[in-house]
A and B are shown apart, each in its own frame.
Chain A
Amino acid sequence: MRPRKLLRIARWEVTKNAGGIDRRTVGIALVALALFGLVVPFIISGDTGLDDGLYRVSVDEESPYYDVVDSEGAFVIREGGERAVSRSEVELYIGDGEIVYAESRKGIAAYGQLQSAVSRYNNRQLRQELNQTAAFPVSVVLEYRQQSALGDGLRLGGDSGGTDDSDDEDGSTGQTDGSDGGESGESDGSEAGDTSTDQPDDGEPDGPATDRETTTDTGGSGGPIGGFGASFTEDSISGSPSDINPPFPFQSLVLAFLVIIPMNFLIQAYGSTILSERTNRRGELLLVSPVSRFDIIGGKTLPYFVGGMAVEVAIIAGLFVLVNGQLGGPVSVLAVMPLVLLFLGATFLGAMFARSFKELTFVTVTITVTLTSYAFVPAIFTDVGAVALISPLTLLVRELQGEAISLAEFVFSTTPPLLCAGVFFGLGAGLYREEDMFDQRSLRGRVLDALVGPIPVRGKPGGFTARLNGLLPVDVTPLRQYLAVGGLTAALIPFVFVVQLLAIALLFALGEISVVLILVVVAVVEELAKSLHIYAGYTHRRFASGRRRAVLLGVASGVGFFLGEKIALLAQLVGLPDLAVGEAGLQGGIIPGPPVLTVLLFLLAPLALHVVTAGISAVGASRSKRAYVVAVGTAMLVHLAYNLTVVVSVV
């Protein structure tokens, strides 16, 4: 790769292609974005009223519940009395001392809504009372505290947050030390103001906290959605019991979403530019020029990467100014970088696969949906430790909250997407050749084409191992093929790892069943990763026929997988295997502690498993498509059976 040529192509890309987006388009886009900016506050305030009028209620005017129902948006008051319930014209009837609800899911849901509406209404009413001690007789200070000291490794981020000293616990009210401003907590928006003025002597750290209490007012909805900065989970929360909210950094998520949205527009443009090289053989001119394909790909990607990062840096800086009142976020920028690369890499590969713009649209939507959930779902569980760290966005959320980020966490979070982006670019680059770029193959065919790229062909030069051919008296092509197959399997591991992590994040909350579901995902993904390129090689007639050859290819693939799988050790850095599901999903690559004998067993058993299952699939792949499907299914079953045995006996 030569930087000068790469930069020249990048400059062409900016002046020719991006210049193709004329001023009018940019103008309209900017106006649209500005208008969208006007809408965002509405959406963030949470007052979208999506459930307005969802439930119909008939309520007596004299009933104490009348005001409750009247003030709740989700309810609409209808006439009709008790008989209307049986005619299913209303879901709830509230009469004199009785509440009748329809015997349907909707009726029960309406009843549940009434319960929460009553507590909200009570809290609102009680806040008007003169005697606040009687209205809120209980004042709570909730403190989050580490149960046992886990992994205090090298710390990267800010030191202001973190966990509290345990010393100040002994005081009568058990305040956290004021320096972290933790007291403002979740209750700011709703009623911390009230409680603290009523209890001037209970030792609230007014100094640092008051600055933050100038944030917005939610109108006492008491929900998790407050003003900016108000509901970032802090180390402790104070207020009345109804102010206690489980740690759910809803706003951090909304903010993080702002980081993801620009990516989707970026990949639209990027996908178009790559695909337009392929339509009408436009890219041929660049291909015949004296530059390598890596220069072309690098040059075409660079402007989008730089542009994307510029936007991200601006957004992150803006977020930090908005939330913390000062610039910041170096770790966040580094954490977002792999995500940007992952989006671009996936889009590049998608654009190399797509036959038409229509197909590209679907591919881009798939990428958007999958990657957004990859970045997003784990971040929801920001306070649930290791699971959250699967997504790099968690690092952003944590830095925003002023929490410390350890180096191990950073590596665990950012390495898989980075490697994955590399795999995507690598596979796509394999297709960036004249013979592949311009022909109209189906999506499936292209996947196989991409996978077969790195596998050497007999008698064709390419790669450094090909030079051995001239030096050695025997034909080493088969050996090179085994190496390539094993290496390709290992290269696919980051992808497998990311899929497994995503599965863990999606499924871990389901309880017991999640372990089995994750094992199924593991078996399917791993077996495909070990065998798909072997099948692709056979469809392209790269391998000589014969069962012995097939078994050896399987062995090569299995060994490659076994070695590459050790990337899962990363997960050990942050203690993900402590979770049962984490252990189930990643157990192949994790080395358990002593005793020594079992270590040997644990090392050899996965190796044997991978070799055997890959062998089964490879033999199937060498025969026909149908035989391959059957064989890979068998391999998955074997893998699943093995995993279940191990998990049952170990966990």
Chain B
Amino acid sequence: MFDHPRWTITKRELGSLSREKTIVLAICIQLFIAAFSSFLVVGLTSLYDPGSVDGGADIEVGVPGDVEENLIRAGQEVDGVTIRRVASNDDALELFERGQLDAVVSTASSPVGGGTQVQVEAVVPAEDLRTTVIVVSVRELLSELERLERVERVDYLDEAPVQIPEDVGSSSYFGFTYTILLPLLLFLPAFISGSIVVDSITEEIEQGTLELLRVSPLSLVDIVDGKAAGMVAIAPIQAGLWMVLLRLNGTGIENVGVLLVFVAAMTLITVVVGTMLGLLTGQRRQAQLLYSLLAVLLFGGTIALPEHPASTVALLAVDSATGTTLAHVAGFTVLGIGLYACVRWYVGRVDVESL
């Protein structure tokens, strides 16, 4: 089976990638993206989740004058916040401006409508590395105050609020890893494969080497087959490599087989788009421009599906897949194969001399 000359084309395509070491560059890019996203998420979460900042982020909050007793109680409930009582508002603000307090929270009761409301005024630093941490801590403190105040007024409510479950220290990396990072890593190889097909075909046409290939006992269909096969093959390999790396890193991934099929189907679609654009325009500049536009558009357009492909990947990887998920995988696979059959039919009818 592998005697057919089209496999020679495949080998040549893959060979040129490894010779030019471009595939190394591609993997470097992906590594960079992965590193970059994880740095980003670690950075952001440490800013948003004060507990994860080292040293436990001890925020000192100044509370001037007479205060609600509930605020003091809330301060004891919330971790990482120390309440410091200050005589007057002016004193507190002075301490704040000298950087000895991280925030100033003053309260006053005022009658509103039928009852009273606690008016809180919080002052936080404007431009500081710790602003985010301080704001989050102040929010926690005030939410606790709100909860305590609500408990006292529960009789006036038609429906008591649902109790918030106890904290068990969950992290927010989980959702990000599966819904953003993993799809990014799996779809990027597919996108790049389509792009290489565009280059490969337009290069043959522009440099005139397609004529030479035509002299060999190969039909245009064989040439396209060979090029497509190589590119469809490398995307799942890269994707598989990523999943192995993620697993080594402690991120469990289920349904690896189905995911690889899904990536292959996606790649088939991008390769079909790339091939068609390459053959229709015959020029690299136009074909690449249209390819990147169409790829972005198609990916954006999938938002109309009941399940976004990124969702499909996430659901498969965390083993929450439903019938809909599998139907999407099957649908994309059928679509890819169908489109490829169309391309073969088109290529078989195209007049090579006109390229």
Alpha-carbon distance A344/B119, docked complex (angstroms)? 54
* Contact A357/B199 with A21-B289, A133-B114 known, Cβ cut-off 8 Å: yes
Contact with B along A94-130 (1 / 0, CB 8 A): 0000010100011011011111001101100110011
Chain A residues whose CB sits within 8 angstroms of the CB of B93 once the complex forms: 166, 169
Bound-complex Cα distance A114 to B115 (A): 32
User: Are the CB atoms of A272 and B284 closer together than 8 Å?
Assistant: yes
B48 touches A246 (CB 8 A): yes
B 129-173 binary contact with A (CB < 8 Å = 1; else 0)? 101100110110011011001101110111101111101111110
Chain B residues, Cβ within 8 Å of A28 = 290, 293
- In the bound complex, do residue B138 and residue A199 qualify as a contact, i.e. CB atoms below 8 Å apart? no
Main secondary structure of the interface of B (DSSP, over half): helix
**A369 B132 Cβ-Cβ under 8 A:** no
Contacting A36 at CB < 8 Å: which of B122, B200, B300? Answer: B300
- Nearest-CB distance from B108 to chain A (Å)? 6
**Is A598 an interface position by the 8 A CB rule?**
no
Tell me if B119 and A25 are in contact (CB < 8 A): no
Shortest A339–chain B CB gap in Å is 18
Instruction: Provide the residues of chain A in CB contact with B308, threshold 8 Å.
Output: 48-50
For the complex, give the distance between the alpha carbons of A566 and B288 in Å.
42
Residue on B with the closest CB to A172? Answer: B108
CA distance A387 to B28 in the complex (A): 26
Cα separation A170 to B123 with both chains bound (whole Å):
12
Is the pair B25, A54 in contact by a Cβ cutoff of 8 Å? no
Q: Are B179 and A247 in contact (CB under 8 A)?
A: no
B112 at the interface (CB under 8 A from A): yes
Contacts A32-B297, A362-B26, A579-B129 given; does A133 touch B113 at CB 8 Å: yes
- In which size bucket is the chain A interface? 35 or more
- Tell yes or no: A291 within 8 A of B by CB: no
Kindly list chain A residues whose C-beta atoms are within 8 Å of the C-beta of B175.
51, 54, 74, 109, 113
Q: Is A122 a contact partner of B162 (Cβ separation < 8 A)? A: yes
- On whether the beta carbons of A36 and B296 are closer than 8 Å, the reply is yes
Interface size, chain B (Cβ < 8 Å) = 121
The CA-CA distance from A143 to B105 in the complex, in Å, is: 10
> A642 to chain B: which residues have CB within 8 Å?
none
Q: How far is the CA of A348 from the CA of B315 in the complex (A)?
A: 42
Contact partner of B320 among A54, A269, A369, A370, CB < 8 A?
Answer: A54
Q: Closest approach, in angstroms, between the C-beta of A472 and any C-beta of chain B?
A: 46
Please tell me which stretch of A134-142, A152-160, A322-330, A608-616 contacts chain B, meaning at least 4 of its Cβ atoms lie within 8 angstroms of it.
A134-142
B285 at the interface (CB under 8 A from A): yes
- The reply on B217 being an interface residue by CB < 8 A is no
Tell me the complex Cα distance, A575–B209, Å. 58
Q: Which of A25-79 contact B (CB under 8 A)?
A: 25, 28-29, 32-33, 35-36, 39-40, 42-43, 48-56, 64-65, 68, 74, 76
**A201 interface residue per 8 A CB criterion:** yes
Decide if A279 is an interface residue (CB 8 Å cutoff): yes
A112 touches B192 (CB 8 A): no
- Given known A173-B119, A241-B143, contact A112–B170 (CB-CB < 8 A): yes
Establish whether residues B289 and A25, one from each chain, have CB atoms under 8 Å apart when the complex forms: yes
CB distance B285 to A21 under 8 Å? yes
CB distance B289 to A147 under 8 Å? no
Q: Does B110 contact A (CB under 8 A)?
A: yes
Question: Across the interface, do A244 and B285 meet the contact criterion of CB distance under 8 Å?
Answer: no
A645 interfacial by beta-carbon distance below 8 Å:
no
CA distance A56 to B202 in the complex (A): 48
Is B44 an interface position by the 8 A CB rule? yes
State A130–B159 Cα separation when bound (angstroms). 11
B196 touches A (CB below 8 Å): yes
The reply to whether A509 and B36 contact each other, CB–CB distance below 8 Å, is: no
Instruction: Report if B29 contacts A (CB, 8 A).
Output: yes
A113, A118, A143, A163: the one contacting B122 at CB < 8 Å is A143
| B112 close to A509 (CB less than 8 A) | no
- Contact between B164 and A115 (Cβ–Cβ < 8 Å)? yes
CB of B333 within 8 A of chain A? no
A131 touches B206 (CB 8 A): no
Q: Residues 157-185 of chain A: 1 if any B CB is under 8 Å from the residue's CB, otherwise 0?
A: 00000010010011011100000000000
Contact with A along B87-109 (1 / 0, CB 8 A): 00110010011110000001010
Identify which of B26, B43, B131, B289 contacts A510 (C-beta below 8 A). Answer: B43
CB neighbours of A111 from chain B (8 A): 165, 168, 170
Contact of B124 among A20, A126, A132, A145 (CB under 8 A): A145
- Interface residue? A289 (CB, 8 A): no
A442 CA to B18 CA, complexed, in Å: 12
Chain B residues in 8 Å Cβ range of A244: 135, 138-139, 142
Q: Given the interface contacts A131-B157, A246-B47, does A139 sit within 8 Å of B117 by beta carbon?
A: yes
**Contact call B142/A359, Cβ cutoff below 8 A:** no
B-contacting 9-mer, from A376-384, A415-423, A551-559:
A376-384
Q: Which of A178-208 contact B (CB under 8 A)?
A: 198-199, 201-202
A218 within 8 A of B: no
> Is A355 an interface residue, CB under 8 A from the partner?
yes
Contact call B314/A51, Cβ cutoff below 8 A: yes
> Which chain B residues lie closer than 8 Å to A170 at the CB level?
89-90
Across the two chains, which residue of chain B brings its CB closest to A382?
B127
Shortest CB distance B353–A (Å): 20
Interface: A286 (CB within 8 A): no
Q: Which B residues are within 8 Å of any A CB, using their own CB?
A: 16-17, 20-22, 25-26, 28-29, 32-33, 36, 39-40, 42-44, 46-48, 53-54, 89-90, 93, 96-99, 106, 108, 110, 112-129, 131-132, 135-136, 138-139, 142-143, 145-146, 149-150, 152-154, 156-159, 161-165, 167-172, 174-175, 178-180, 192, 195-196, 198-200, 202-203, 206-207, 252, 281, 283-286, 288-290, 292-294, 296-297, 300-301, 303, 307-308, 310-311, 314-315, 318, 320, 322
**10 more A-B contacts (CB under 8 A) besides A142-B123, A148-B98?**
A20-B286, A111-B170, A140-B121, A242-B139, A245-B135, A358-B16, A358-B17, A362-B22, A510-B42, A510-B43
Q: Which 5 A-B pairs have the closest CB atoms?
A: A509-B43, A112-B170, A109-B174, A241-B142, A137-B149
Q: Give me 8 A-to-B residue pairs in the complex whose CB atoms sit less than 8 angstroms apart, sorted by A's number.
A: A36-B296, A50-B311, A51-B314, A108-B170, A134-B157, A148-B98, A268-B289, A279-B207
